[in-house]
Structures are given as C-alpha cells and as structure tokens.
C-alpha cells in the first residue's frame, strides 16, 4: 500500500500541472480544478491500469471528464429551456460566439470544427507529441497526423479570407472579360 501511495504521489507531482493546463484550456479555471481532482481520483482508483508514462492516460481521462461535464451541462440547459416559459431558447450563450469577437486568429480557430480545434489544442496548448495525442483520442498516430495536417490547412484557409476574396474577384473579372 505504501508503494502505491508513493507511486501515486509521484504521478500527481509530475502531472498535475499538465492536467490542470489541459482542462483550463477547455473550460473555466474553477471547473478545471474540479476536472483535475476528478482525474486524479480516477487515477488513484485505477492505479494498476496506469502505464509507465501516465501523462497521455491522465489527459485522456481529463478529456472524458470534461466531455461528461459538457453532456451534463447540455442536459441541464435543455431542461431549463423547456421549463422556461416565455424565454427564447436561443438566448443561451455560446462560447464560440465569445471567441468570434476576439482577434482574427481566435475567430478563425473558433470557426473550425470541434475535431480540428481539439487536435490543434493537443499539439499547441498541451504540447503533446503526435503519438501521445493519438493515444488520448484513441486513434493511430498516422490517423492523428492526418487530422492535424487537415486541421492546420483549414486554419490557414480561415486566416486568409482576404486572399480568397481577392482571388474570387480576379476569377469573376476573368470570367466577365471572357463572356
């Protein structure tokens, strides 16, 4: 039992900051602390299942805890909307709307699909290698690198709206000139 406790404490010391940063990058800071606590509770309960490199496993657990919170929150919000009489259900605040009001990069990021945002967060905000991120998502490293490549391309396109609009104007002028 003492060995288990020492192992858990070492894993906690080495990984708590990474788990908290991972959660804080996805939800508000107070809830991120709860996610970190719940993640390490799961780790303690499943200590025998933890691999030697526990970080990807812990981040995978944190991701599932966050997803569970979002599902619970969505169910709560849906119930509140049904119970609210005379309120417009569309008045609920969407976090993506808040991001869209920020600078161009955040707006482009917010415009990506959740799958693209998650892939980009894992490698940039959480500083994970492709193999670690793939393990968290439960896909092969090859599948993850393909997702990452595609997400980066979509982000680049979203960041270059002026290039697209000027290119489409040139195309229209070219078509008009030859009509």
pLDDT tens across 120-162, in order?
A: 888 888 888 889 889 989 999 999 989 999 998 898 888 776 4
Instruction: Say yes or no to pLDDT of 163 above 60.
Output: no
Q: Half-sphere exposure of residue 84, counting CA atoms within 13 Å on the CB side?
A: 13
pLDDT of residue 19: 95
- In the chain, the domains with their CATH numbers are 1-89 (1.10.1740.10), 93-179 (1.10.10.10)
H-state helical runs in 25-53: 29-45
pLDDT tens across 21-31, in order?
A: 999 999 888 89
pLDDT of residue 80: 58
Give the integer Cα–Cα distance in Å for 99 and 95.
7
The two structure tokens encoding residue 85? 């009489």
What secondary structure letter does DSSP report for 50? -
Report the SS3 class of residue 138.
coil
Residues of 86-123 as b/e, b for ≥16 C-beta within 10 angstroms? eeeeeeeeeeeeebeeeeeeebbbbbbeeebbbbbbbb
pLDDT of residue 98: 38
User: How would residue 2 be classed by pLDDT, with cut points 50, 70 and 90?
Assistant: confident
pLDDT tens across 34-44, in order?
A: 999 999 999 99
pLDDT of residue 97: 40
- Give me the DSSP letters along 109-133: HHTS-HHHHHHHHHHHTS---HHHH
Nearest to 17 by CA among 55, 45, 50, 67: 55
pLDDT of residue 84: 55
Burial class (CB in 10 A: 0-12, 13-18, 19+), 32: buried
């Amino acid at each position: 039992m003492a060995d288990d406790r020492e192992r858990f404490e070492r894993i906690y010391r080495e990984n708590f900051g990474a788990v908290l940063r991972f959660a804080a990058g996805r939800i508000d800071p107070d809830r991120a602390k709860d996610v970190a606590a719940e993640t390490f509770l799961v780790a303690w309960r499943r200590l025998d299942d933890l691999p030697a490199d526990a970080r990807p496993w812990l981040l995978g657990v944190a991701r599932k805890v966050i997803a569970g919170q979002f599902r619970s929150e969505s169910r709560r919000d849906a119930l509140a909307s049904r119970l609210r009489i005379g309120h417009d259900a569309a008045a609920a605040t969407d976090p993506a709307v808040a991001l869209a009001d920020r600078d161009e990069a955040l707006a482009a990021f917010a415009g990506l699909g959740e799958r693209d945002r998650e892939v980009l967060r894992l490698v940039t905000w959480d500083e994970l290698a492709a193999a670690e991120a793939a393990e968290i998502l439960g896909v092969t490293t090859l599948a993850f690198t393909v997702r990452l490549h595609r997400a980066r391309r979509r982000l680049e396109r979203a960041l270059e709206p002026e290039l697209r609009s000027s290119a489409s104007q040139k195309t229209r002028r070219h078509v008009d000139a030859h009509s």
